[in-house]
Every structure is written in C-alpha cells, then in structure tokens.
Chains A and B, each alone.
Chain A
Amino acid sequence: MNTAPDKRMGLAEAVARFVFDGAHISIGGFTINRNPMAAVYEIIRQRIKNLHLYAHSNGQGVDELVGAGCVAKVEIAYGGSGRFAPTCICFRQAVENQKIAVEDYSNYQMTLRFLAGAMGVPFLPTRSSLGTDIIEKWGFPASMRRADPQIPDHKLLVMDNPFGAWGQTTKVVLVPAIQTDITILHAQKADANGTARIEGLTFADVEQAKSARHVIVTCEDLVEPNALRACPDRNQIPGLIVDAVVHVPFGAYPTACYRYYDYDPVYLKDYSQSARDDLQHQAYLERWIYGLQDHPALLEQVGAARLEMIKADPGTGYAKGLDRR
C-alpha cells in the first residue's frame, strides 16, 4: 500500500526494492496469458533466491522462476503451460529431484486463499477436495510448518458444517489465507498513481493484489490519470494498493496480453525444448536473460517480425490465424 500520487519506477529498481531473497510472492496471469514476464526475467537477472511462491496456474512465469533456481517452496494448483508443456518442464524436474518443496491445492482453493488474505479472514470454506489426497497428503511436513511462523500449522482442515445441514452440505474444507510480501501483475493500462485496468479475463489477479503487502504493476500503456478515472467502473486495481508502476510494453511476452498481442508459439516451443536439457537450459538463461540488460533488449533479440506476427487483431484480441503448429 502507498497513497503517493506518482509511483512510476524502472523495473530493475522496483524488483530490487520489493523482491528479496526468501520473499513470499505471487505473480498474476494464468498459464500462457498475461504473466508479468518482464518482471520474472528481472527477478532471474537479479539472481534472487529462496522465493516462497504461491500460484494457482501461472505456468510460464512459475516455470522460468523455478528453472532459474529462484524458488525454494511453491504452493500451487497446476504446473502446466497448456499444449506447450502439459507439465511444466523445470517444475517437473525440480519436484522429482526434490530441489523445491511443493504443496498441492486446487485452483479454486488457491483463489479462495488469496481472497481470504484480501478479506482479512484466516480461512475460507469450500467443498473442493473432500475425499482426496489433497487433504490427506502434505508436501510441507507438520514439523516444518510449526517451525515457520510465515506459514500456517495446517495445510487445510476439514470440519462438519457448523450450520448443520444448511446449504445441503455436511462437511467443508477450510483453506488458509495467503498474504504475500509482494505480488506482481501485468495490466494493459495503468496510471502513475497505480490505478490499473485489466482487459479480458482477470484470473485471480485482483484477489492476489489485494492480499499482498506490496504490489508492482507493469503495464503496456502508461496513461494520463484522467484516462482511467473517467471510467472507474472498468478499473479493477485501485491505486492505493500499488507500490510501483512500471511501463513495460510487451511486458507479458512471450505470454499473451489480450488486445495487444498473442502468446509467441515459437518462443514457448523453443523454451520447452531447451528446458529438457540442463546445458541447453543454461544456454537459454545466458542468451535470453543473464546476457541481456533488460526487456527491450530481449524484444530486440526476438525481432520486429515475430512481434508483428503475434500482434492482436482488434476484432478478437488475439492474432487471428496465427500459425501455432
């Protein structure tokens, strides 16, 4: 939270100021859409380590952070990037090799956990996962939970419906609230104050932002304050919860940004190919992240032709007819 009128900042400064070793963090977007990828690459570039990451299904961003060794623990519903990686490659390897600790929830549970954090309640109830191993099997052992004041003692709890048979429900699953140190979102439009407008699906971005101590918003267009305030009913992020506003065109690339550009099937395919092999993945990190100064340099290396290829068609919001084979 920050009530200052002007929170514009460079990306390197925003990441250096709000993302630290061991931070509890969440990122916006979903699988291959509107992940704050420029910020993800900057976190990798600054070699931030031991992140505790909370994700519903933030596929590409999560996989790149895990693959670059930035993550120690992840609480997650889905580690996949659609057809490009039915299971995210680096995520899979890191879990199989026990390089990260993982705790599984469902997408609705993660959504409710962020919502609980935003609401300031310790938990919210759901019926999801009754009878399953999501309840029975814990990735974070009870001892580790008790030792760490930043995570709850229980993964979740099942209780009898305290309202009796009200709601035709006998039992409920209580999922604990999440409050992150930092949440990073990418929006289509924002102003200097942090007021932001997401176009298209919002996923759980709004709940994630409201459950965070600090919020960084990266945006395609940095607009004059009046542009967004003239129609506040279309804005989802109130400026007061935002700490840094960073203007980053193509800031979600290589994931999609509705009405601006599609996902880049070439980049995503090349990524999932190189992620399968340690040496190739190291080469990928050097070539596309460590060896580049910033996101504009990455875009330059991708080239104007590819960016033109994924440019969104104004009628649909995506690149109609894009060759996605």
Chain B
Amino acid sequence: MKAPMMEYTARELMAIAAARKINDGDIVFCGTGISMLAAMAAKHINAPNSIIIFETGAIDSQLEEIPLAVADPRVMFWASANGGLADAFAIMQNPITGQRVVGILGAAQIDRFGNLNSTAIGDYTRPTVRFSGSGGACDVASCVRRTIIFMQHERRKFVSQVDYLTSPGWLNGPEGRDKAGLSGGGPEAVITNLAVMGFDDHTREMFLEAYYPGTTPTQILAHMEFTVDISRAREIQPPTARELQILREQCDPQRLILG
C-alpha cells in the first residue's frame, strides 16, 4: 500500500530544517518563538546531547513546555544552573564555551552577508517602524561560532542594505569581521518559509541551498531585493513522520508557536 502524502505547514518545515542544522553536543542559544521550537525539536530528534541556554541565565534547560519568552519561568525547568544575564553571556562570549555555541536569531531585515536589522525601518531617530531592538541578538552574533537565522521570505525583508545594522553577519565580506575586531564565526544558514539559504565559504555571500517542495529557485529570487547564486540549490528533504510527530506531540502540542 502506498503511504499517504504527508501534510505539513511551512512553519513545521522551518523548525525541522533548523533542528537538522543542530549537531549533537552543540550549545544552542535561542531567542523567542520558532527558535525555541527548533532547539527543542533538535534535542528530541537528532541532537539529544545538545545543550539549550537562554540569555536570561538558564543553562541547560530541559523544557517540558514551550516557553513564550526567554524569561518564561518554563526555561528554568530542570536546568543545570539558574543564574542571570552576566552568566549566560559569559558562556556565549568566553572562547572556550563560545566556540561550541550556535545562536538562533530572527530579524526584520537581512542583507546578502547575513547582517540583521531588528531595530528600526527608516531613519533611526525618526523611524517609520520601530522594532524591539537587539536584546541579546547582537551579543550572540558578535561572538559565537555559528548563527542560524529565521526570516520570512519577502522582498522588503531581504534587502540590498539594512536600514540599521543591529547584529553583525559577515559585515561586508570575507574580511569584514576580522577588520571590525570580531571573532571568527558568522551566519551559517537562513531558514525561511520558502527555502534554506547558505553562505559561501569564500565570498561569504548568501546562496540558495535548498528550496521547499512546491517552490522553485526563480520564485524564491522574486521574493528578494538582491540576487543570489541558485546553481547549488536542491529540493529539501520533506519532514519525516517521526520528525513531525515529535514536533507536534512533544514540542508544541498547544500549537503556541506552530500556529
């Protein structure tokens, strides 16, 4: 008998695509929303020995229920240690532990080098739209080895130049971070509702790594203000039944983040 076609949402695929990028033994720094879901999914599916940390000071959270903010008391569940911001940021910025940290971030705008804006649209002092600001995102992007970025794939969000550079990506290319005085790491992937974007090892420019079933590379380019290399693109492996089941039943049964 032929297995029925699996139904899933773009949001579910986003969480799973990010979870697959988390390796066993990684220290995962997560922000609010879908990044927590990705961290939880990775821990349940493919990276049982990954460590989840929150900037609020919860170190190695076990997360029985999905938190709705990084300060949600749920981040303290069965943690190894509860501290404060200074403790969490030290783990992230200390080169010994920091080199194992993968940060998961989101933003309102991104450019081809993975620089992020989560502060304001328009002139900074007279913004047309104001967002939350850095929070800990700039701290993560400044120091950790790898970052994974969640974005909605829209032309106004994938821009030639961000209106405000809140969190450093590769800055202006291969030498950018070194010249600015930042450490070695940088953005590794952008996970959107349409695709997964990577960053070229040499140019540090964004390229299309994988597109979701039902989309094409050309359609994806139409959702961006700048163009990227699509020659390496392949269709992403859809979520497996096991991945979906764990995501839905163990990570977010109330569908607070999955919607």
- Name which of B137, B176, B181, B183 has the most chain A CB atoms within 10 A of its CB: B181
Complex Cα distance, B167 from A109, in Å, reads 13
> B171 near A: Cβ within 8 Å?
yes
Q: Would B93 and A32 count as touching, CB distance under 8 A?
A: no
With A33-B72, A128-B139, A168-B95 already in contact, the answer to whether A201 and B132 are too (CB < 8 A) is: no
CA distance A321 to B67 in the complex (A): 12
Q: Are A206 and B89 neighbours in the complex by a CB distance under 8 Å?
A: no
Most buried by A among B85, B86, B95, B119: B85
CB of B224 within 8 A of chain A?
no
- For window 181-213 of A, CB contacts with B under 8 Å fall at 200-207
A81–B69 CB distance below 8 A = yes
CA A132 to CA B176, docked complex, whole Å = 11
Stretch at the interface among A16-24, A100-108, A276-284: A100-108
Q: Are A104 and B180 in contact (CB under 8 A)?
A: no
Counting CB contacts under 8 A, is B130 at the interface? yes
Which of B75, B86, B93, B131 touches A87 (beta carbons < 8 Å)?
Answer: B131
In the bound complex, CA of A136 to CA of B128 (Å): 19
Whether the Cβ atoms of A57 and B135 lie closer than 8 Å is yes
Known: A107-B55, A130-B182. A316 touches B132 (CB 8 A): no
The interface residues of chain B lying within 8 Å CB-to-CB of A132 are 138, 142, 165-168
Interface residues of A in 57-89 (CB under 8 A from B): 57, 59, 76-84, 86-88
Interface of A is mostly: loop
Query: Does A271 have its Cβ within 8 Å of any Cβ on chain B?
Result: no
User: In the complex the two chains form, what is the Cα distance from A324 to B134 in whole Å?
Assistant: 26
Docked-complex contact A201 and B57, CB < 8 angstroms: yes
Please encode chain B, from 163 to 177, with 1 for each CB lying within 8 Å of some chain A CB and 0 for all others: 011111001000011
Task: Report whether B132 and A80 are in contact in the complex, using a CB–CB cutoff of 8 Å.
Answer: yes
Distance in angstroms between the alpha carbons of A312 and B73 in the assembled complex: 10
Residue of B nearest to A319 (CB): B73
When A200-B76, A201-B57 are in contact, do A87 and B139 touch as well, CB less than 8 Å?
no
Describe B's contact surface by its main secondary structure: loop
Contact B82 A201 (CB under 8 A): yes
Inter-subunit contact B84/A201 (CB<8 Å): yes
B143 CB within 8 Å of chain A: yes
Question: Is the beta-carbon distance between B86 and A204 smaller than 8 angstroms?
Answer: yes
- Partner of B183 from the list A86, A88, A105, A127 (CB cut-off 8 Å) is A127
Which residues on the B side are within 8 Å of A106 (C-beta)?
Answer: 134-139
A250 contacts B by Cβ under 8 Å: no
Give every chain B residue within 8 A of A77 (Cβ-Cβ).
133-136
Q: Mark the stretch among A37-45, A46-54, A91-99 that contacts chain B.
A: A91-99
CB-CB nearest in chain A for B90: A108
Q: Is the CB of B85 within 8 A of A107?
A: yes
Task: List, in ascending order, chain B residues with CB within 8 A of A107's CB.
Answer: 55, 85, 89, 134-136, 139
Contact, CB under 8 Å: A128 / B86: no
Contacts of A263 in B (CB 8 A): 72
Q: Is the CB of A33 within 8 A of B71?
A: yes
User: In this assembly, does B159 line the interface, its C-beta being within 8 Å of a C-beta of chain A?
Assistant: no
Does chain B have a CB within 8 A of A111? Answer: yes
State in angstroms the CA–CA spacing of A73 and B67 once bound together.
31
Q: List, in ascending order, chain A residues with CB within 8 A of B167's CB.
A: 132
Q: Indicate if the CB atoms of B76 and A31 lie closer than 8 Å.
A: no
- What would 19 more interface pairs be, CB under 8 Å, given A57-B135, A77-B133, A78-B136? A33-B71, A78-B135, A87-B131, A95-B127, A98-B126, A104-B133, A106-B135, A108-B136, A127-B93, A127-B181, A139-B125, A171-B180, A200-B76, A201-B57, A201-B75, A204-B84, A316-B74, A320-B64, A324-B256
Q: Can you identify 9 A-B contacts, CB atoms within 8 angstroms?
A: A30-B56, A108-B85, A127-B143, A129-B142, A131-B180, A201-B84, A202-B82, A204-B84, A316-B77
Q: Pick the 5 closest A-B CB pairs, nearest first.
A: A82-B69, A171-B181, A131-B180, A78-B135, A30-B71
Residue positions of A touching B, CB distance < 8 A: 29-34, 56-57, 59, 76-84, 86-88, 91-92, 95-96, 98, 104-109, 111-112, 115, 126-134, 136-137, 139, 158, 168-172, 200-207, 256, 258, 262-263, 265, 312, 316-318, 320-321, 323-325
